[in-house]
Amino acid sequence: MKIDQRGVRRGFSMVELLVVLAILFVLAGLVVGVAIRVARSTDEKLTSTRLAQIKQMLEGYANDNNGIYPVGDDYSSRVLYQVLSGDSSGQGDDPDGEVYWGELTDESNPNLVGEIAGGRVILDGFGESFRYRAAEDEDGNPVAGVRNADFDLWSVGRDGLPKGFTTSGLTKNNDTKDDIWK
């Protein structure tokens, strides 16, 4: 702030104001960056927690069904919703079978269950459907490409794309490395 010869304040110079604004913008940028990292970390932790919950519920299902895991016809979690919620239609109806995960039928958590192609699915922390693949088909034959002995369960991660894919299709360099596996 400038003070003239008579001791009267004349205000801040333009340079002083610009320096203050620059400092404020730098601080705001730091805060936004930290907030984005915290949100991403929260989504990843929620996804990992849900993966563990689904795995535990699937173990309970297999214990009640002679060690057999649910068989799905696609990579979405539609079959998981059906068997774990007890809703065999997969449309959000009242349970007509054993309920392994009661939270799936609770409408108060809209971030847990979503709809894809007319059927309900279990959502990961990024709002995408979990992917599920059983190690055996309906006839007990091994399914090609399954990584684990019983089933594969994974999230496609933040980008919503399976590993090896981009928005333009299949890639050779596997540049989507944010998938989260059981």
Lowest mean pLDDT among 23-32, 117-126, 136-145, 173-182: 173-182
CB 29 within 8 A of CB 35: no
Measured CA to CA, the distance from residue 35 to residue 69 in angstroms comes to 40
What pLDDT does residue 164 have?
52
What pLDDT does residue 173 have?
42
Could you report the per-residue pLDDT of 89-103, keeping only the tens digit for each?
A: 888 888 888 999 988
Joined together, the tokens standing for residue 101 give 């995960």
Could you report the per-residue pLDDT of 58-91, keeping only the tens digit for each?
A: 999 999 999 889 987 667 788 999 999 999 888 8
Residues belonging to the chain:
182
Joined together, the tokens standing for residue 152 give 């594969």
Could you report the per-residue pLDDT of 124-169, keeping only the tens digit for each?
A: 988 888 888 888 888 888 888 787 888 888 888 877 666 554 455 5
> Beta strand 119-122 with 113-116: parallel, antiparallel or unpaired?
antiparallel
Closest CA to 51 of 126, 139, 159, 162: 126
pTM of the model: 0.71
